[in-house]
Amino acid sequence: MKKYNVAVVGATGAVGREMLKILEERDFPFDNLKLLASERSEGKKLTCKGEEYVVEATTPESFEGVDIALFSAGGGVSKKFAPEAAKRGAVVVDNSSAWRMDPEAPLVVPEVNPEDIFKHKGIIANPNCSTIQMVAALKPIYDKVGIDRIVVSTYQAVSGTGKAAIDELRDQAKAILASEKAESNVYPYQIAFNVLPHIDIFFDDGYTKEEMKMVNETQKIMGDDSIKVTATAARVPVVYGHAEAVNIETKEKLTVSEAKELLDNAPGVRVVDKPEELAYPMQIDAESTDDVLVGRIREDNTIEKGLNLWIVANNLRKGAALNTIQIAERLIEG
Amino acid sequence: MKKYNVAVVGATGAVGREMLKILEERDFPFDNLKLLASERSEGKKLTCKGEEYVVEATTPESFEGVDIALFSAGGGVSKKFAPEAAKRGAVVVDNSSAWRMDPEAPLVVPEVNPEDIFKHKGIIANPNCSTIQMVAALKPIYDKVGIDRIVVSTYQAVSGTGKAAIDELRDQAKAILASEKAESNVYPYQIAFNVLPHIDIFFDDGYTKEEMKMVNETQKIMGDDSIKVTATAARVPVVYGHAEAVNIETKEKLTVSEAKELLDNAPGVRVVDKPEELAYPMQIDAESTDDVLVGRIREDNTIEKGLNLWIVANNLRKGAALNTIQIAERLIEG
């Protein structure tokens, strides 16, 4: 079996560390592994498959001889270094938002549009976490009956922001429980015991960038600009896992039992929907699974062809590191 | 000025205590105040307007001579004692779900359908918390351009469940932060650092009773069975305040600025919507206000006449105790 020279850029971050775990868990066939990060992290040691690796500062030359470069170091780093890696023959799978809407970069969820992987020109983009889990769950429905319109409200975990946000939530919760003042540095307001209807920057029309990612990325991944999506993205005081209340209008009628059967047979999707046993998807259950969990599937009788669903996934794994590595796996399968 | 004999049933509960605070804050014109609760709470002492009151066990005879009986002691108590109070000449304003859909009981949000108050036959029902804040915010829009359909996802605080749930959230958060096991007694699963897409019981069609309350109560309060509502209700790890992501389809087009102007002039509603200053409604801000906060107002371009809104209010005050007392105030104004 062919083995590959792999680089992980942003190896010391929350998603980067998750990538190392997943490369090990899935026994990704790498020959050499290069861990890259900012100068600040240079010299740090991390392990993967029992080997210790020393983190190096990222330079254009870091990518000499690299076959696959997995990026998760923010949009700025990706903008700067992904072309350098591609120029040197690496295929970049980038977890930032930098290349997602670039017409030359495929935007891929392997369960949805694996064929797009092979249209790359050196850079493949990994979608936004909240989009990945939604399209993974909706694809089987889309294929069967078509989808006209999606109304989605998100309940997103702080780990999507990074390690500092996890610490902030915990520190704030501790302070508030001790009747002390909670300090906000990562978010503009207290996130512990609160909900922020605000993720990423605001545009002039009042939508946030996170909300527009769900609109634009869904259309690009599905390869269908006619799918209408309107989103409200909110941050909840949860550490791991994003939840989404999703209302869809399909082109043809789909009953709840048909939807459950479709989703039961969909790759990467697990139906958790037995209300009589109080079984429904929850973020605490997403911590330990790679599946996209779908439940609370209900007919929406306010329209002729409508469904409500509750979709939950681990935002650091399926929403980021896992999807990135699944793209790389498909790429080398060819 | 005429003064009234008032009874508060369920005086020792979370909403009951809030009622006492509000009777005092708003200087409600009572002559005598009777605090009623279960036998378990008999003899407890509570204060209102500087006077100490001893809690009595509720019996049918407790309501002799009572003009206004404010109930918040659960559906069972209301079913049993509200008719007894009414029979003795009291007007009951009931915060439980017991009488809400009874055709003889008006269901009232004073900003929305104050005229219904005077149709009572002894019992007036106070709507569900998540419905109150939604209809209070949507009424001005409904009056101006009509509303066809509402898709709502809720982010509800644990205080809606009661004091035991507040304690459970805090205890669980403390345990988890100390890497100890979190115990769940009030909710079926951990609520700290988690979201439960489950409020009240499940019906056979997969909807919860909480979700159906939002459907049926909205139609009854608005006096319009043609308003279509589909809801997903979720409990978030927040102590006070419910938030709602609300998508509406109006009958006539309403722009964002028109919606803001309408809401700015609506009683009991406050627009908090300056994204450029990061001003949007949050649950932590609902703790200290009686207003329904509305923000994140955006045109939904997936339909011809659509808007998205983020609606937040204090579930114990406007969602319960305050609305109940506002009904009583209107009642005595005549």
Question: What secondary structure letter does DSSP report for B273?
Answer: -
Q: What is the pLDDT of residue A294?
A: 98
Give the H/E segment covering residue A213. Answer: helix A209-222
Question: Rounded to an integer, what distance in angstroms lies between the CA atom of residue A78 and that of residue A81?
Answer: 5
Contacts of A189 in chain B (CB under 8 A): 278, 282, 284
CATH 3.40.50.720 fits A4-126+320-333, yes or no: yes
- Contact at 8 Å (CB) between B135 and B109? yes
Q: Best mutation site among B169, B232, B273 for testing chain A: the one with the most A CBs within 10 Å?
A: B232
Residue A82 sits at φ, ψ, to 5 deg, of -60, -45
Cβ-based contacts of A243 with chain B (< 8 Å): 195, 197, 234
Nearest CB among A169, A206, A310 relative to B197 is that of: A310
Distance CA(A135)–CA(A116), nearest Å, equals 15
- Give residue A272's Cα distance to chain centre: 20
In this model, does residue B288 exceed pLDDT 90?
no
A308 is in an annotated binding site: no
Continuous H helices in A3-122: 14-25, 75-87
Region of A103 please: left (phi>0), alpha (psi -120 to 50) or beta: alpha
Q: What is the mean pLDDT of residues B268-296?
A: 96
| Predicted local distance difference test score (pLDDT) of residue B267 | 94
Across chain B, what does the average pLDDT equal?
97
Fold held by B131-314? Dihydrodipicolinate Reductase; domain 2 (3.30.360)
List the single residue in A with minimal CA-CA distance to B281. Answer: A197
Strands (E), B90-142: 91-94, 123-125
Is A122 annotated as ligand-binding?
Answer: no
Query: How is residue B55 written in tokens?
Result: 């809690």
Contact A193 B275 (CB under 8 A): no
**Cβ distance B94 to B71 under 8 Å?**
yes
SS3 B54: strand
How many residues comprise chain B?
334
Which residue is associated with the tokens 């690496």? Answer: A90
- Report chain A residues whose CB lies below 8 A from the CB of B197: 243, 245, 280-282, 295-296, 310
Residues 6+ positions from A207 with CB-CB distance below 8 Å: A231, B298
Q: Do B230 and A276 touch (CB under 8 A)?
A: no
Contacts for B167 with CB less than 8 Å, ≥ 6 apart: none
- State residue A288's pLDDT score: 86
pLDDT computed for residue B305 by the predictor = 98
Contact call for A206 and B284, based on CB within 8 A: no
In this complex, the residue of B189, B205, B237 whose CB is nearest that of residue A193 is B237
Cβ-based neighbours of B281, under 8 Å, separated by 6 or more:
A197, B243, B272, B293, B294, B295, B296, B310, B311, B312
Cβ pair B215, B230 in contact under 8 A: yes
B196 and A155: CB-CB below 8 Å?
no
pLDDT range class, residue B5, cuts 50, 70, 90: very high
Query: Cβ distance B298 to B256 under 8 Å?
Result: yes
The residues of chain B that CATH labels 3.30.360.10 are 131-314
Residues in chain A with pLDDT values less than 50: none
Residues forming beta bridges with residue B247, ordered by sequence position: B151, B308
Work out the minimum CA distance from B247 to partner chain A, whole angstroms.
8
Q: Tell if the CB–CB gap between B205 and A299 is shorter than 8 Å.
A: yes
Helix (H) or strand (E) holding A248: strand A242-250
Would you tell me the crossing angle of helices B163-177 and A163-177 to the nearest 10 degrees?
Answer: 130
Task: Identify which of A170, A198, A205 has the shortest CB distance to residue B278.
Answer: A198
> In sequence order, what are the residues at sequence separation of 6 or more whose Cβ sits closer than 8 angstroms to the Cβ of residue A136?
A109, A111, A112, A266, A268, A269, A292, A313, A318
What is the band of B334 on the pLDDT scale with cuts at 50, 70, 90?
A: confident
Domain with CATH 3.40.50.720 in chain B: 4-126+320-333
User: Which residues of chain A neighbour B256 with C-beta distances below 8 Å?
Assistant: 206
Helix or strand or coil: residue B115? helix
Chain A interface, best mutation among B151, B168, B246, B299, by max A CB count within 10 A: B151
Query: CA-CA distance, B264 to B294, in Å (whole number)?
Result: 9
A268 is in an annotated binding site: no
Distance, in Å, from the CA atom of A131 to the CA atom of A136, rounded to the nearest integer, reads: 8
C-beta atoms of A284 and B193 within 8 A: yes
Helical (H) or strand (E) element with B216: helix B209-222
Q: Hey, are the CB atoms on B194 and A238 less than 8 Å from each other?
A: yes
Q: Which helix (H) or strand (E) holds A8?
A: strand A4-9
Q: Do residue A230 and residue B153 have CB atoms under 8 angstroms apart?
A: no
Count CB pairs under 8 A between chains A and B: 161
Partner-chain residue, chosen from A177, A206, A296, that has the shortest CB–CB distance to B256: A206
Q: In what order do the strands lie in the sheet with A292-299?
A: A228-232, A147-155, A242-250, A306-313, A292-299, A269-271
- Can you tell me the distance from the alpha carbon of A229 to that of B302, in angstroms, rounded to the nearest whole number? 7
Residue A273: list chain B partners with CB under 8 A: 206
Structure tokens at A140: 């089987």
Q: Is A97 annotated as a binding residue?
A: no
Hey, are the CB atoms on A195 and B282 less than 8 Å from each other?
A: yes
Q: Do A155 and B303 touch (CB under 8 A)?
A: no
Q: Does domain A131-315 have CATH number 3.40.50.620?
A: no
Report the C-alpha gap between A274 and A296 in whole angstroms: 8
**Using CB atoms, which residue from B229, B234, B302 is nearest to A228?**
B302
Q: Identify the bridge partners of residue A231 per DSSP, sorted by sequence position.
A: A152
Task: Read off the tokens for A279.
Answer: 């079984």
Contacts of B80 (CB under 8 A, 6+ apart): none
Reply yes or no on whether B120 is catalytic: no
Residue A278 in 3-state DSSP? coil
Residue A131 Rama label (left phi>0; alpha psi -120 to 50; beta): alpha
C-alpha angle B128-B133-B138 in degrees, rounded to nearest 5 = 120
Q: Where in chain A is the domain with CATH 3.30.360.10?
A: 131-315
Residues of chain B with C-beta less than 8 angstroms from the C-beta of A245 = 153, 197, 232, 234, 245
Residue A235 marked in a binding site? yes
A53 CA to centre of own chain: 26
> Which of A48, A120, A198, A242 does the annotation list as catalytic?
A242
Q: How far is B46 from chain A (nearest CA, A)?
A: 24
3-state secondary structure of B222: helix
- Identify whether the C-beta of residue B66 lies closer than 8 Å to the C-beta of residue B85: yes
Q: Compute the mean pLDDT over every residue in chain A, rounded to the nearest whole number.
A: 97
Task: Verify whether residue B242 is a known catalytic residue.
Answer: yes
pLDDT tens across A210-231, in order?
Answer: 999 999 999 999 999 999 999 9
Smallest CA–CA separation between A153 and chain B, in Å? 7
Q: Tell me, what DSSP letter sits at residue B162?
A: -
Decide if A197 and B282 are in contact by the 8 Å CB cutoff: yes
Chain B interface mutation, best of A255, A284, A294, highest count of B Cβ atoms under 10 Å: A284
* pLDDT given for residue B1 in this prediction: 76
Asked whether A69 and A82 are in contact (CB, 8 A), the reply is yes
The values of phi and psi at residue B38, to 5°, are: -75, 165
A13 is in an annotated binding site: yes
DSSP letters along A124-175, please?
EEPPPHHHHHHHHHHHHHHHHH-EEEEEEEEEB-GGGT-HHHHHHHHHHHHH
Q: In which element (H, E) is residue B21 found?
A: helix B14-25
pLDDT for the residue numbered A24: 97
Q: B230, B240, B288: best mutation site toward chain A, by most A Cβ within 10 Å?
A: B230
Question: For position B145, what pLDDT does the model report?
Answer: 98
| Contact assignment for B238 to A195 by CB distance below 8 Å | yes
Cα three-residue angle A154-A155-A159, rounded to 5 degrees? 115
Partner-chain residue, chosen from A155, A188, A275, that has the shortest CB–CB distance to B278: A188
Phi, psi of A293 (to 5 degrees): -95, 130
B199 to chain A: nearest residue by CA?
A: A278
Residues A127-139, buried b or exposed e (16+ Cβ, 10 A)?
Answer: bbbbbbbbbbbbb
Give B168-195 pLDDT, tens digit per residue.
999 999 999 999 999 999 999 999 999 9
pLDDT category of residue B260 using cuts at 50, 70 and 90: very high
Contact call for B284 and A239, based on CB within 8 A: no
Q: Counting every residue, how long is chain A?
A: 334
